[in-house]
């Protein structure tokens, strides 16, 4: 692994790779292969566009290629609902179509399809309407019948650790029935079993599913000769003596050369749920994942390993982080804090800027402003710089840079009748009954001249020594710690840090950072130009 061109590179360039393959919060990944192409999807919660789709030719080097949904179904997502929205998806390729199942824990289970994953996806359809059904995965059997395996969210339905199987129509548009519970982890020492993925091999039905919880759990595999069970089970991947806690839910995928691999996430707190790739072997019709000794039923995560054999070598790459805003559309790294609306922005191809329009602020806290434009962390440490052009801001407009997690901070300028006021905004979100609340503390730092035309903002993420341990399960390990600093410059050369605070992850998500512009008065609103977003 190296940090190259200000991004994370897992490919070592010598035929090996080092985990994580993506130091990015692509939570709850699932993967499928079609020919020489691998496609990954991940959760996106209340951010839109949603359901990021990534592509790789070798399982190590990945690029974002599209989003499967432009907006989250439901008008309620016109405002941020942190921790709600699009949870763990599954992607499959069936009869010429790519099909994604995704759950919304308060609304139901949805299906979205396309024949071209680089292009536009169809509008999602609701397969099941109701609360508490999560983590759906479709499966088509040899006789043409189709099924869906899924789990349950205790916060919505009152119980968890149970897997359900039901029959659906092969086109994935209707449920034949609500099926039955096929595995109860509460009585099988597999508490919090969830995220099931179903496969078939050598006459056995297999369900891969994590158990034991996100921070301290392991990978469980169920198998049966009958799709309805009963299922026997084994723990096939555990943390053991490694630094990879979890390791949590993911996907089995085989290469075109016959190798087997497993992709999963590791929760690293503020940075979110980052992606690992593990070798996998079949022993007596049971999978064993990671590194293991002969006779062991469970492996342990590897850090550096030989790359998958996919028949040839492909270029090293990674998802984009930087943006010059010199195209006709936003880069795929960007998501809004809620469903976007027309008029929030436009791309000025002449000046090569992103123009953010000052949207009227009606939120009680900056974390609930819908038109925050955010992106994920792409590496464990970073220094992001953005340049804003202020010449078209109006009195009452505020524009700046934000870092958003449970602890949040922003640095901004507000246009007043007397010029500009530089200020910092900070606070901490609290979650109760699945709702987020926060109180902003806004402090004026200094008055800036009315002639100020441009300003630079910085966001620095720096790893610091851990001060606490996680000992809530079978393992004890240090909790990763980072400090976040926000600063500014009036000339692009001399920068001053304004605030520093400890990073804390958001609701099921890692910390995001980005830019914003809103209006807080009744008069005419203006706009701000964003020239670039760089990592230096």
- Catalogue the active-site residues: 28, 194
DSSP category for residue 147:
E
Nearest Cα residue to 167 out of 149, 182, 147 = 147
352's CB contacts (< 8 A; 6+ apart) are 324, 325, 326, 531
Pick from 363, 311, 301: nearest CA to 516: 363
- φ/ψ region of 280 (left if φ > 0, alpha if ψ in -120 to 50, else beta) reads beta
Residue 431: CB partners within 8 Å, gap ≥ 6? Answer: 82, 83, 437, 507
CB atoms within 10 A of CB 430: 11
Q: Would you state the structure tokens that stand for residue 50, as one six-digit string?
A: 């949603």
Binning the chain into helix, strand and coil, the percentages to the nearest 5 are 5, 50, 45
Contact 288, 40 (CB under 8 A): no
Closest by CA position to 278, among listed 313, 314, 316, 247: 247
Structural tokens at position 475: 């393992």
Let me know: does 44 contact 96? Beta carbons within 8 Å.
no
Max Cα separation, the chain? Answer: 77
- Angstrom CA distances, 176 to 89, 142, 151, stand at 21, 18, 18
The alpha carbon dihedral of 248, 402, 103, 92 has a sign of: negative
CA angle, 409 as apex, 394 and 440 as ends, to 5°?
Answer: 75
Cα separation, 503 vs 496, in Å, equals: 20
Integer Cα distance of 85 and 47 in angstroms: 8
Antiparallel, parallel or unpaired: β 335-336 and 527-535: unpaired
Selection from 289, 279, 276, 250 nearest residue 43 by Cα: 250
């Amino acid at each position: 692994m190296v940090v190259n061109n200000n991004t994370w590179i897992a490919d070592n360039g010598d035929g090996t790779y080092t985990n994580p393959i993506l130091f990015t919060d692509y939570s709850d990944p699932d993967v499928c292969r079609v020919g020489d192409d691998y496609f990954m999807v991940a959760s996106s919660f209340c951010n839109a566009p949603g359901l990021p789709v990534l592509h790789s030719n070798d399982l190590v080097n990945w690029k974002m290629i599209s989003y499967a949904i432009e907006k989250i179904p439901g008008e309620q997502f016109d405002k941020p609902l942190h921790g709600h929205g699009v949870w763990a998806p599954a992607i499959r390729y069936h009869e010429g179509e790519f099909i994604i199942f995704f759950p919304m824990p308060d609304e139901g289970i949805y299906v979205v399809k396309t024949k071209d994953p680089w292009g536009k996806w169809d509008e999602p359809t609701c397969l099941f309407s109701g609360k508490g059904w999560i983590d759906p995965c479709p499966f088509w059997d040899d006789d043409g019948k189709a099924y869906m395996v899924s789990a349950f969210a205790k916060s919505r339905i009152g119980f968890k650790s149970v897997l359900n199987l039901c029959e659906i129509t092969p086109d994935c548009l209707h449920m034949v029935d609500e099926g039955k519970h096929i595995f109860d982890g509460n009585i099988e020492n597999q508490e919090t079993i969830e995220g099931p993925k179903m496969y078939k091999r050598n006459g056995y039905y297999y369900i891969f599913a994590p158990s034991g919880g996100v921070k301290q759990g392991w990978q469980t595999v169920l198998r049966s000769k009958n799709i309805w069970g009963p299922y026997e089970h084994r723990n096939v991947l555990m943390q053991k003596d490694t630094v990879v806690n979890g390791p949590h839910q993911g996907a089995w995928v085989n290469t075109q050369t016959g190798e087997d691999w497993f992709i999963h996430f590791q929760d690293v707190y503020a940075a979110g749920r980052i992606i690992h790739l593990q070798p996998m072997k079949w022993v007596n019709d049971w999978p064993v994942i990671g590194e293991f000794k002969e006779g062991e039923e469970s492996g342990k995560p590897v850090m550096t390993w030989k790359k998958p054999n996919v028949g040839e070598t492909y270029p090293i790459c990674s998802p984009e982080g930087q943006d010059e805003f010199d195209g006709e559309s936003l880069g795929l790294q960007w998501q809004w804090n809620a469903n976007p609306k027309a008029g929030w922005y436009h791309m000025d191809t002449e000046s090569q800027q992103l123009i953010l329009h000052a949207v009227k602020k009606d939120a009680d806290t900056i974390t609930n402003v819908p038109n925050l434009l955010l992106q994920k962390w792409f590496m464990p440490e970073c220094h992001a710089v953005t340049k804003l052009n202020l010449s078209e801001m109006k009195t009452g407009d505020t524009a700046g840079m934000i870092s958003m997690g449970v602890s949040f901070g922003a640095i901004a300028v507000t246009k007043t009748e007397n010029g500009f006021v530089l200020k910092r905004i900070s606070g901490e979100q609290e979650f109760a009954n699945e709702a987020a609340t926060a109180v902003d503390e806004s402090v004026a730092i200094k008055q800036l001249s009315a002639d100020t035309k441009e300003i630079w903002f910085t966001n620095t993420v720096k790893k610091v020594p851990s001060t606490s341990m996680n000992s809530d399960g079978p393992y004890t390990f240090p909790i990763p710690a980072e400090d976040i600093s926000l600063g500014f410059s009036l000339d692009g050369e001399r920068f001053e840090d304004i605030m520093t605070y400890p990073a804390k992850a958001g609701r099921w998500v890692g910390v995001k950072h980005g830019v914003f512009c809103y209006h807080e008065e009744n008069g005419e609103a203006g706009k701000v130009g964003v020239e670039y977003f760089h990592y230096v």
